[in-house]
């Protein structure tokens, strides 16, 4: 099992250029499937699993109360793995062929109002190095809509303050250029002038945003910061790792930005992923219509 999975993960990395987090997710899903196979003694082999065994596995996940999205992701991992096994002649037939993924409920993302965003962005204390850093991170995240993982992986040379752009590496190691906006440029320049030098310990550190130990800030560390400021701002909505990203996209569309441009800034490979935000803006339009039209 280990050799085949390692070969598969190597293929995903080399041939398809998938990000490390995605590779780890595939490996984790396949290990959990292997654990299930081992519990079914007569079928404890990846190359002997039948369609019936895989269906039984998916039903077991459902019985355990796993979310539809989780089951769909596990099946996607199995499909990719068994397609690879057939292509490499380790298997004659793909046991996942024609297995349909469960239909996902498309939940609308939670977004903040412009006023709520302003309240959060006004919380950091600009008299401290940490506050200056936090202000720059929050402004940059809301100004660009990049993912939190992309934000914390920014290096110093990825930011062009004169031109007002950042160079961002997204999923599948795909690079894109995203405009920053004047307020994000101002707060990032302030951080570089007055904050980062007081935090960083090693002049060779490449990370743009560092923690109080002078090393690259982690995704988890940043979201603790965001939740703290959300509490201070008395925002009672649930804050997730993508809240400011969702808010960025929704506010752009509400103010007339075209979908293709928003798709490019978000780094979505498929425009259907971006279209979820049009549902939110349509809801907003209905509110405006109901308040403004005399016969609404």
Residue 103: inside a domain: no
Residue 94: inside a domain: no
Q: What is the mean pLDDT of residues 21-42?
A: 84
Task: Tell whether 79 and 126 lie within a shared domain.
Answer: no
Q: What is the mean pLDDT of residues 184-188?
A: 95
Cα separation, 177 vs 281, whole angstroms? 25
Split at pLDDT 50, 70, 90, the class of 18 is confident
Phi, psi (rounded to 5 degrees) for 107? -85, 135
Range with the lowest mean pLDDT among 13-27, 40-54, 276-290? Answer: 276-290
Residue 127: inside a domain: yes
Mean pLDDT for the chain overall: 85
pLDDT given at position 218: 92
Task: Tell whether 162 and 62 lie within a shared domain.
Answer: no
Task: Tell whether 82 and 182 lie within a shared domain.
Answer: no
Contact 32, 74 (CB under 8 A): yes
pLDDT given at position 12: 87
Contact 111, 247 (CB under 8 A): yes
Split at pLDDT 50, 70, 90, the class of 187 is very high
User: Catalytic positions, please?
Assistant: 147, 171, 242, 245, 268, 277
Write out pLDDT tens, residues 78-103.
Answer: 999 999 989 988 888 888 888 887 76
- Answer yes or no: is pLDDT of 143 > 80: yes
Residue 143: inside a domain: yes
Task: Tell whether 124 and 204 lie within a shared domain.
Answer: yes
Residue 65: inside a domain: yes
Split at pLDDT 50, 70, 90, the class of 43 is low
DSSP line for 61-88: HHHTT--HHHHHHHHHHHHHHHHHHHHT
pLDDT given at position 127: 95
Which of 68, 87, 106 terminates a domain? The answer is: 87
Q: What is the mean pLDDT of residues 8-33?
A: 86
Write out pLDDT tens, residues 220-277.
Answer: 999 999 999 999 999 988 887 788 888 888 888 888 888 788 888 888 877 776 777 7
Task: Tell whether 286 and 192 lie within a shared domain.
Answer: yes
Tell me, letter by letter, the H, E, C secondary structure of 164-215: CEEEEECHHHCEEEEECCHHHHHHHHHHHHHCHHHHCCCCCCCECCECCCCC
Write out pLDDT tens, residues 277-295.
Answer: 776 566 655 665 566 656 5
Long-range contacts of 8-13 (CB under 8 A, 24+ apart): 8/80, 8/81, 8/84, 8/85, 11/84, 12/80
- Range of 6's domain? 2-87
Split at pLDDT 50, 70, 90, the class of 136 is very high
Range with the lowest mean pLDDT among 44-48, 88-92, 181-185? Answer: 44-48
Split at pLDDT 50, 70, 90, the class of 66 is confident
Tell me, letter by letter, the H, E, C secondary structure of 276-288: HHHHHHHHHHHHH
pLDDT given at position 271: 72
Domain count, the chain: 2
Residue 123: inside a domain: yes
pTM score, whole prediction: 0.63
Which whole-number Å values give the CA distances from 119 to 40, 81, 181, in the listed order?
54, 47, 18
Residue 92: inside a domain: no
Which CATH number goes with the domain that contains 198? Answer: 1.10.443.10
Contact 162, 231 (CB under 8 A): no
Cα separation, 118 vs 13, whole angstroms? 40
Task: Tell whether 127 and 75 lie within a shared domain.
Answer: no
């Amino acid at each position: 099992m280990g050799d085949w999975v390692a070969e598969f993960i190597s293929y995903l990395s080399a041939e398809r250029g998938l990000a490390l987090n995605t590779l780890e997710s595939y490996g984790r899903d396949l290990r959990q499937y292997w654990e299930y196979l081992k519990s079914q003694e007569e079928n404890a082999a990846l190359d002997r699993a039948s369609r019936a065994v895989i269906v039984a596995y998916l039903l077991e996940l459902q019985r355990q109360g796993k979310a539809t999205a989780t089951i769909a992701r596990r099946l996607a991992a199995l499909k990719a793995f068994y397609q690879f096994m057939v292509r490499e002649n380790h298997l004659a037939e793909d046991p996942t062929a024609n297995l349909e993924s469960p239909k996902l409920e498309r939940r609308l993302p939670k977004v903040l109002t412009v006023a709520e965003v302003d309240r959060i962005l006004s919380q950091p204390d600009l008299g401290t190095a940490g506050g200056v850093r936090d202000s720059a991170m929050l402004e940059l995240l809301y100004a660009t809509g990049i993912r939190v993982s992309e934000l914390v992986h920014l290096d110093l040379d990825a930011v062009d303050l004169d031109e007002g752009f950042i160079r961002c590496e997204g999923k599948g190691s795909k690079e894109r250029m995203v405009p920053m906006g004047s307020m994000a440029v101002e707060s990032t320049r302030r951080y570089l002038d007055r904050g980062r030098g007081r935090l960083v310990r090693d002049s060779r550190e490449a990370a743009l945003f560092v923690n109080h130990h002078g090393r690259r800030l982690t995704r988890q560390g940043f979201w603790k910061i965001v939740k703290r400021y959300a509490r201070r701002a008395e925002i009672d909505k649930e804050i997730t790792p993508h809240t400011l990203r969702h808010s960025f996209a929704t506010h752009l569309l509400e103010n007339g930005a075209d979908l293709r441009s928003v798709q490019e800034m978000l780094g979505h490979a498929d425009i259907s992923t971006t279209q979820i935000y049009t549902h939110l803006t349509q809801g907003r339009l209905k509110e405006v219509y109901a308040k403004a039209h005399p016969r609404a």
